[in-house]
Chains A and B, each alone.
Chain A
Amino acid sequence: MSEGLFGIHGAALELRSHRMGMLTSNIANAATPGYKARDLDFGSALKSRMDGAGSDAATASATRYRVPTMPSLDGNTVELAGEQMAFAENAVAYSATLSFIQGRVETLTRAIRGE
């Protein structure tokens, strides 16, 4: 039911939320020696989700390690500025997806009320 109602946006919101957690993991591990920053390739995750993969499989197959622009001596690949940018971008995209969903819900509510 919800698949048909929200279309691609339900899956997108779920993936955006997962990516937010991954980026927060990177921010939390900014001082952990040897930590390799990870990110979600959103496009390919959404594609495999729409092709019928489960949400766990879709995120697992689209998880990538970040390539650092300036490698640090302790092996940590978190660059805080980059992570903050990605987090902000992801938050805006989450809001956008949310307003699409909200639009669908409003349309439906209006149809039910018969306005």
Chain B
Amino acid sequence: MPEPMNLFGLVQRGMSAQLVRMNAAASNLANAGAVAGSEQEAYRALRPVFGEQLDRASGYSSVSVAGITRAETAPTKRHDPTHPMADANGDVWEAAVDETAEMVEIMESSRQYQNLVEAMQTAKQLMLETMRIK
């Protein structure tokens, strides 16, 4: 039987999930403006989907990354016959990444990460005070 989850395990999982989210947004930003020779090959933004993970023994819920989806936004077609990757019609496809949305995603993720750290520090402080009763 697995051990019941404590607050530290819970926070740690939450932090890892937020890190996955930040990494995905960073990959999207890195691929913004990338060009492909066909619509299928063009980069589509990655987006992790979180899932609740209930620990019945303790009643706490942690987070896990349930899956990673690709955005359904279509890549932008641009007519550029001089581009080395252009197809027979002279078109190239630009990655379907919205830079502003990715920046907002990173900001939101980092705020939630900070929030978790804050909660963990408060809880840790209280636990230490409880231990020091004499």
- Residue positions of A touching B, CB distance < 8 A: 13, 17-18, 20-25, 27-35, 38, 59-60, 63, 80, 84, 87-88, 91, 94-95, 98, 101-102, 105, 109
Contact = CB atoms under 8 A, between A and B. Distances in A.
Contacts of B63: 28-29, 31-32
A64 B50 CA distance: 22
B72 interface: no
Contacts of B13: 28
Contacts of B60: 21-22, 24-25
Given A23-B119, A27-B116, A102-B133, A94 B126 contact: yes
A27 B59 contact: no
A23 B60 CA distance: 9
B115 to A, nearest CB: 6
Interface residues of B, number: 33
Nearest to A36: B52
B115 A31 contact: no
B129 A21 contact: no
Majority SS at the chain B contact face? helix
A32 B50 contact: yes
A94 B128 CA distance: 12
Given A84-B115, A87-B119, A18 B14 contact: no
Contacts of B112: 27, 30-31, 80
A1 to B, nearest CB: 16
Given A22-B59, A33-B49, A98-B129, A28 B11 contact: yes
Contacts of B58: 21
Contact of B50 (A23, A29, A88, A98): A29
A73 B14 CA distance: 22
A34 B115 CA distance: 20
23 contacts: A20-B123, A21-B7, A21-B58, A21-B59, A23-B119, A25-B62, A27-B115, A27-B119, A28-B10, A28-B13, A28-B116, A29-B61, A29-B62, A30-B112, A32-B52, A33-B50, A34-B52, A80-B112, A80-B115, A84-B115, A88-B122, A91-B122, A105-B133
B52 A35 contact: yes
B14 A28 contact: yes
A32 B51 CA distance: 6
B44 interface: no
